[in-house]
């Protein structure tokens, strides 16, 4: 009898606890929905139910954010003090600073600016405005970096631009600089707004701008008769830039004709630089010749990168160096250009200079570092394993920011959770990072486990950095479709970080990030029984369809590097990127036109090296893996059109 009564009481306690959890969850999700809907009163009702809850500070922040214009300074400062050094304090401080900026309350703004951690363009603009207000003329010069951002500017930056225009710190030439940047990046609406700052007589005709945007070839065939006004010339420049994006050779033909001859040398050379960079992107062999026609026009880092890639494909090592030398200091220090500069020195007989460049980047578990290590005669190895103690994990389990982040992950509020987690771990030492990574692993938040373990500098846990959850499923289907398991895991690590319900902006789903039409196509091809769109996120279904699709793209491209590119960018693009002649794999990878796909392939192949070491205990040369990409004629490929 006593035992039965005890069970009844225990069961009641469990049910009450479960009910309380559900009520708290509903309150958090309700508060978040009210915040997203901009309903402060509804938010306040939900927040009242969260007193003492781990996520109460989030509900408080959401309330402040919706009414920051009405917030009492004492209340804001009290929140900032209670949560000093946290992501939530930084978010609220940023909101408060924007409010001070909107009011032009510059003393308050500058007093609160110091502790802000995040870099926010609008707040930077307000900071320049505050300095201008107290007579700091240098702020106007620095602010031009924001003016040349290739996107719509936030209100604080637009207000700053108005001030610069009124004071003469920004002139017509500066306006045209911004317009060129915007038009080159297809920001037509923003360019129209920028043009509105010019005197009416200096603005281009609206029909001319529209034609340059929609029918550039026609405009170039029938250009304005008078190219003396800058507005007319700029529309010709825009049209030629626009045409180059779809047909670089046609744009080059225009520039070689009478219209090109009628343009001033400076504008003609500017266009040659634009056309050459586009040609390099298109893998056109004319790119280097056209870069030469750009003369002394200063090239951007992006243009210099494409010049270097064109030189790599052509095997012109001096031109590789000539393209890297003028890059900004930050660009030159990028691992890619450090490695390729070393390769260029090596090819020209300067072994010592090459070695110095390789040594700068060797020893890290990333793509170009692995290649540099191999150039030095070494190979990828696993560092000594360091596992956190239970006491260290328990300390991490009690850290409020990590607790909040894990609660947010559990509730599906992934954006907020990820931001809170990243902020929390940003200054942790290696031991705390590994403890936090293990905490995330145990909670099934695999992306944070991987990324957090990947931040360590001296102590490492590669079993977490290169996690392999669901390994039994991956191993089974890799074997079934004759795929290397390490490669499959390397690809999935890059695709989803092993988050089962991962979903991309394009609608790709699950561990292997399958698009709906791709999943349906594979299911139909293999006769997958019981297939429904809802099942694509299930582990077994996702891995079945994903590995089979990977087998299709490997068969359809003929090389793991091409197949990796195809998995990310689509098989048809990968086939178009195949070189005409056999090409070193590293040069091919560096020449992939899409930056996202280029970085994707690098990371997948580097991941594969480490999974091979972890799972199979064997050394796996990255250089041998990427090998030589066969020329188009050397590949006998199936005719199937893959999605």
CA–CA separation, 307 and 294 (whole Å): 11
Say if CB 394 and CB 36 are below 8 A apart.
no
Say if CB 365 and CB 610 are below 8 A apart.
yes
Of 490, 488, 443, the residue nearest 465 (C-alpha): 490
CA–CA separation, 182 and 199 (whole Å): 19
Of 110, 111, 54, the residue nearest 86 (C-alpha): 54
If DSSP codes are grouped into helix, strand and coil, which group holds residue 469?
Answer: coil
Encoded tokens for 628:
């030589």
CA–CA separation, 427 and 424 (whole Å): 8
State the greatest distance between any 2 C-alpha atoms of the chain, in Å, as a whole number.
Answer: 104
Torsion angle, alpha carbons of 149, 155, 159, 161, to 10? 10
The pairing of strands 628-629 and 583-584 is antiparallel
CA–CA separation, 56 and 47 (whole Å): 7
If DSSP codes are grouped into helix, strand and coil, which group holds residue 460?
Answer: strand
DSSP state of 550: H
Residues paired with 628 in a beta bridge: 584
Residue 561, H or E segment: helix 560-569
Determine the Cα angle at 241 with ends 236 and 244, to 5°.
Answer: 125
CA–CA separation, 18 and 350 (whole Å): 70
Residue 628, H or E segment: strand 628-629
Say if CB 361 and CB 372 are below 8 A apart.
yes
Encoded tokens for 117:
């951690």
**Under the phi-then-psi rule, with left for phi > 0, alpha for psi from -120 to 50, and beta for the rest, what region is 297?**
beta
Of 92, 25, 23, 20, the residue nearest 57 (C-alpha): 92
Tokens 């959770």 -> residue: 417
122 is catalytic: no
Q: Which residues contact 36 (CB under 8 A, 6 or more apart)?
A: none
Catalytic member of 495, 540, 584, 596: 495
Catalytic machinery residues:
495
């Amino acid at each position: 009898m006593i035992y039965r009564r005890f069970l009844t009481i225990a069961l009641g306690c469990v049910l009450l606890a479960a009910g309380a959890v559900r009520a708290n969850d509903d309150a958090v999700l309700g508060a978040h929905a009210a915040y997203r809907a901009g309903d402060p009163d509804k938010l306040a009702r939900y927040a009242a139910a969260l007193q003492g809850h781990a996520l109460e500070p989030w509900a408080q922040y959401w309330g402040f954010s919706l009414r920051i214009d009405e917030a009492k300074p004492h209340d804001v400062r009290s929140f900032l003090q209670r949560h000093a050094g946290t992501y939530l304090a930084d978010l609220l401080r940023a909101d408060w600073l924007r409010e001070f900026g909107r009011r032009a309350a510059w003393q308050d703004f500058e007093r609160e600016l110091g502790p802000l951690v995040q870099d926010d363009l609008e707040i930077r603009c307000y900071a320049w405005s505050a300095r201008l207000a107290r007579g700091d003329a240098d702020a106007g010069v620095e602010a031009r970096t924001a003016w040349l951002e290739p996107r719509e500017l936030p209100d604080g930056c637009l207000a700053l631009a108005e001030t610069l225009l009124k004071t003469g710190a920004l002139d017509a030439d500066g306006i045209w600089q911004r317009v060129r940047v915007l038009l080159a990046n297809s920001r037509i609406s923003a360019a129209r707004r920028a043009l509105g700052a010019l005197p009416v007589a200096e603005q281009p005709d609206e029909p001319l701008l529209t034609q340059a945007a929609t029918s550039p070839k026609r405009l170039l065939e029938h250009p304005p008769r008078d190219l003396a006004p800058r507005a007319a010339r700029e529309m010709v420049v825009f049209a030629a830039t626009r045409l180059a994006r779809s047909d670089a050779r046609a744009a080059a033909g225009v520039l070689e004709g009478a219209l090109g001859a009628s343009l001033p040398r400076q504008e003609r050379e500017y266009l040659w630089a634009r056309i050459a960079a586009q040609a390099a992107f298109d893998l056109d062999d004319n790119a280097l010749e056209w870069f030469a026609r750009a003369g002394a026009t200063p090239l951007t880092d992006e243009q210099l990168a494409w010049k270097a890639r064109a030189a790599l494909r052509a095997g012109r090592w001096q031109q590789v160096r000539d393209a890297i030398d003028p890059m900004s200091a930050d660009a030159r220090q990028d691992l890619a250009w450090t490695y390729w500069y070393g390769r260029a020195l090596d090819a020209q007989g300067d072994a010592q200079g090459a070695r110095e460049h390789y040594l700068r980047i060797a020893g890290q578990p990333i793509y170009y570092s692995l290649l540099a290590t191999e150039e030095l005669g070494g190979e990828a190895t696993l560092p000594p394993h360091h596992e956190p103690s239970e006491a260290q994990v328990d300390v991490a389990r009690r850290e409020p920011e990590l607790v909040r982040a894990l609660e947010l992950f559990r509730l599906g509020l992934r954006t907020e959770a990820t931001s809170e987690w990243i902020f929390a771990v940003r200054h942790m030492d290696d031991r705390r990072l590994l403890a936090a990574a293990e905490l995330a692993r145990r909670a099934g938040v695999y992306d944070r486990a991987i990324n957090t373990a990947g931040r360590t500098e001296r102590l490492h846990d590669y079993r977490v950095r290169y996690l392999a959850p669901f390994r039994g499923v991956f191993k089974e289907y890799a074997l079934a479709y004759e795929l290397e398991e390490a490669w499959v895991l390397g690809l999935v690590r890059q695709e989803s970080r092993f988050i089962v319900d991962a979903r991309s902006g394009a609608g790709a789903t699950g561990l292997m990030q399958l698009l709906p039409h791709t999943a349906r196509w594979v299911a139909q091809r293999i006769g997958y029984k019981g297939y429904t769109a809802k099942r694509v996120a299930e582990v077994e279904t996702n891995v079945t369809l994903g590995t089979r699709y990977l087998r299709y793209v490997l068969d359809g491209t003929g090389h793991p590097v091409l197949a990796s590119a195809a998995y990310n960018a689509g098989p048809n693009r990968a086939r178009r990127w195949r070189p005409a002649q056999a090409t070193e794999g590293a040069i091919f990878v560096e020449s992939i036109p899409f930056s996202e796909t280029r970085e994707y392939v690098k990371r997948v192949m580097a991941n594969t090296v480490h999974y091979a070491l972890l799972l199979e205990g064997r050394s796996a040369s990255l250089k041998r893996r990427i090998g030589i990409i066969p020329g188009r004629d050397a590949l006998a490929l199936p005719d199937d059109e893959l999605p």
